[in-house]
Amino acid sequence: MAETTTELEEHLKKFFGFDQFRGLQKQVITSLLNKEDVFVIMPTGGGKSLCYQLPALMQEGTAIVVSPLIALMKNQVDAIRGISDHDGVAHVLNSSLNKGEIQQVKDDIANGVTKLLYVAPESLTKDEYADFLKEHKISFLAVDEAHCISEWGHDFRPEYRNLRKIIDRIDEGIPIIGLTATATPKVREDILKNLHIQDATSYQASFNRPNLYYEVRPKTGQVDSDITRFIKGNEGKSGIVYCLSRKRVEELAQVLQVNGIKAVPYHAGLDAKTRVKHQDMFLMEDVDVVVATIAFGMGIDKPDVRFVIHHDIPKSIESYYQETGRAGRDGGEGHCLAYYSYKDIEKLEKFMSGKPIAEQEIGHALLQEMVGYAETSMSRRQFILHYFGEEFDPATGDGGDMDDNMRNPKPQKEAVDDVKKLINVIEASGERYKSKDIVNIMMGKTNAMISSHKLDQQDFFGSGKDKEPTYWTALIRQVLVARYIKKDIESYGTLQLLDAGKDFVKTGKTFMMTEDHAYHLDDASPKVQGGATDNRLVKMLKDLRKKVGAQKNVPPYVVFQDPSLDDMATKYPITMEEMANIHGVGEGKARKYGAKFLELINQYVEDNDITRPDDLIIKSTGSKSGNKLYFITSIDRKLSFDDIASAKGMEMNDLINELESIVYSGTKLNVGYWVEEMLDEDQQEELHEYFLESETDGIDEAMEEFDGDYEEEEIRLYRLKFISEVAN
């Protein structure tokens, strides 16, 4: 059914009101109308759905659209019904329908009214549906989110693997169109093979979204405050914040709400009614921000999302690309901010440990690509596009400077000799090993695999031990992007030489290398973001703390701990409310000791003409306040600590952690009754004298001082009593 260009444009105008097609849409539609099998890779926001909706509306019969999510189907059905005189033009067929609704769908298909039938793959496996569809004219079958077919895709669904059998049962001759927003060469091959459409006409749009700005920040203990500040700095703009767990979604949504941000949570644990309500509130702009698990966003066509934040690094670059792709669909600004800590990667690896070995290997390989993206100092856009098999030069490409590494480049150094050494080692070891194995060989670090293959007996073993392992890891990534070597996906990422690499060893003159970001070092210390600590002010605050401690006859640490002083010297609080929001202070402590510190900071700000962060106060959430209230009232009632911990499903260590945070922020807890259960009068007196005279309240120092006389738990419990009585 070949259509002329003018006729196609007329149909586009008639059904969708658009004057012209975008990107590859017209070519895709023409191929499908010509009864060809078609495969389309088109980034999020590129207009994929129109590629099957328009030809379905133009042809006789019903097009079947296989889609993974009910919410996704509902959105598209509503949109199609909105442009037609008859609601029957588009239907969903899934588990949410009752018998009467199913009959209505069948009647509309039989009467030739339904042009688009959205189904989950599970629905197609039902005999009654397959037999019914077999009796009626099917124009074509569209597989949306086709990456779900591939085990290498970021959202693999086993039920998608049987689609070909189902298609053959309904009508093996119908054209098939597979569509996805993200697919590496390996995923692409897997999809075509599984659907038996290796001869399909393939279309791939560029993965480059030049209006998106990519940024990665180290994930510290202050990540909630940093996200809150970022969103406050983008007031009134729409954004999505992704977290990996439902619990984190709820907690972060509350933090944003108490700081005056219009935000709602979205995750699979909420009932369907609430999820729909929160999604609609976001679409209708009743709220600005959705904090969500990855359950949110597929098929959400909101063009003006201005930022996408990842509180936790996703499991693969494909997931990351698809989720960030929800920003800036209208071509306007889109800020993609991710927080990264290697601890999160280790956590994700632990989750995989119970899965089959092949699945673990795939998951691990995908995760390591994500680590590469987060830690790289090269162009993040170039890194992503290389992953999808697309070349990009940041010096000349569109959006080349739109990431943190390009705006703030790290210095580069000549590494031509190291690149040649690396390529030689990959070749000499038989092109059979993954990145981490090659790094171990370079470092001369042996393990069972290396010794069994006798690699530790080769002259190249240990040839790179003059450098750090992180150096070789970074170099491998950059040599991959330069296309001198490649990862063979079939063998889970073994490094193999390309012809350009062999040529480089003979004739290469230069290779400028940038070292990776060392985020591993940042994991240990929770830093306050938003400004550097003012060391001069810290010294002044410490002097004042010593003075106040002497006046009150208490050790300086009882007044304020070091992290609190560091936070003051970063944020410059000048009101009691601001002081109460300083790390580890709280209202009680602010009232008791804050006045003189505020006076000093106020004077310092004035004398030195300091511009303070204007969005200083980030209120902490009430997410722990329920627990806090429970702990305080339980202690007032003199319940045993064992009972309190057990009521909240906690270990004793976790309970003491919670109580310490309450006491150190200035609230008095009368824990004496429990301390008396644990320690006699002489022991209490001895510990009291120690803490009164000590310059630090550190537990390690106390354990060393008493050299095994007390358990750590006993010292921590007494310290709770001491701080509560002396400081609060």
- Structural domains of the chain, ranges and CATH numbers in brackets: 5-204 (3.40.50.300), 212-390 (3.40.50.300), 412-514 (1.10.10.10), 535-607 (1.10.150.80), 622-727 (1.10.10.1390)
* φ, ψ of residue 487 in degrees (nearest 5): -95, 130
pLDDT tens-place string over residues 587-613: 778 888 899 999 999 899 888 877 776
pLDDT tens-place string over residues 460-478: 999 999 999 889 988 998 8
Mean per-residue pLDDT over the chain, rounded:
85
Across the range 5-34, mean pLDDT stands at 88
How distant, in Å, are the alpha carbons of 130, 217, 308, 604 from that of 339? Answer: 46, 5, 11, 33
pLDDT of residue 666: 72
Using pLDDT thresholds of 50, 70 and 90, give the confidence band for residue 529. Answer: very low
Place of tokens 């980034």: 43
Across the range 59-71, mean pLDDT stands at 85
Tell me the three-class secondary structure of 231-286, residue by residue: HHCCCCCEEEEECCCHHHHHHHHHHHHHCCCCEEEECCCCCHHHHHHHHHHHHCCC
Q: Which of 116-130, 411-425, 509-523 has the highest mean pLDDT?
A: 411-425
Note whether 125 and 165 are within 8 A (CB): no
pLDDT of residue 528: 34
Give the pairing type, strands 116-119 and 201-204: unpaired
Note whether 544 and 559 are within 8 A (CB): no
pLDDT tens-place string over residues 247-301: 899 989 998 998 889 999 999 888 989 988 998 899 888 999 999 987 676 556 6
pLDDT of residue 353: 77
In whole angstroms, what is the distance from residue 441 CA to residue 437 CA? 6
Across the range 676-698, mean pLDDT stands at 85
3-state secondary structure of 710: coil
Q: What is the pTM of this model?
A: 0.63
pLDDT of residue 600: 93
pLDDT tens-place string over residues 647-670: 888 888 888 888 887 887 777 888
pLDDT tens-place string over residues 324-352: 989 998 888 999 999 988 788 878 888 78
Q: Which residues have C-beta within 8 Å of that of residue 685, sequence separation ≥ 6?
A: none
Region for residue 399 given its phi and psi (left: phi exceeds 0; alpha: psi -120 to 50; beta: otherwise) = left
- Least confident window among 425-429, 486-490, 561-565: 486-490
In whole angstroms, what is the distance from residue 577 CA to residue 586 CA? 9
How distant, in Å, are the alpha carbons of 120, 181, 222, 255, 600 from that of 152? Answer: 21, 14, 34, 36, 59
Pick from 160, 170, 139, 150: nearest CA to 29: 139
How many CB atoms neighbour CB 313 within 10 A?
25
Across the range 155-171, mean pLDDT stands at 82
Note whether 309 and 240 are within 8 A (CB): yes
In whole angstroms, what is the distance from residue 395 CA to residue 379 CA? 10
Question: Which DSSP letter does residue 403 get?
Answer: B
Tell me the three-class secondary structure of 290-312, residue by residue: EEECCCCCCCCCCCCEEEEEECC
Across the range 166-173, mean pLDDT stands at 84
pLDDT of residue 242: 95
pLDDT of residue 399: 92
pLDDT of residue 71: 62
H or E element: which one contains 334? strand 334-340
The structure tokens listed for 356 are: 């089959």
pLDDT of residue 522: 38
In whole angstroms, what is the distance from residue 561 CA to residue 555 CA? 11
Across the range 17-43, mean pLDDT stands at 91
Residue 626 has pLDDT above 70, yes or no: no
Give the pairing type, strands 201-204 and 176-180: unpaired
The strand order across the sheet containing 138-143 reads 90-93, 116-119, 62-66, 138-143, 176-180, 38-41, 201-204
Q: Which residues have C-beta within 8 Å of that of residue 29, sequence separation ≥ 6?
A: 8, 21, 51, 54, 55
3-state secondary structure of 141: strand
pLDDT tens-place string over residues 86-124: 788 888 887 778 889 889 989 999 998 899 999 988 888
pLDDT of residue 412: 84
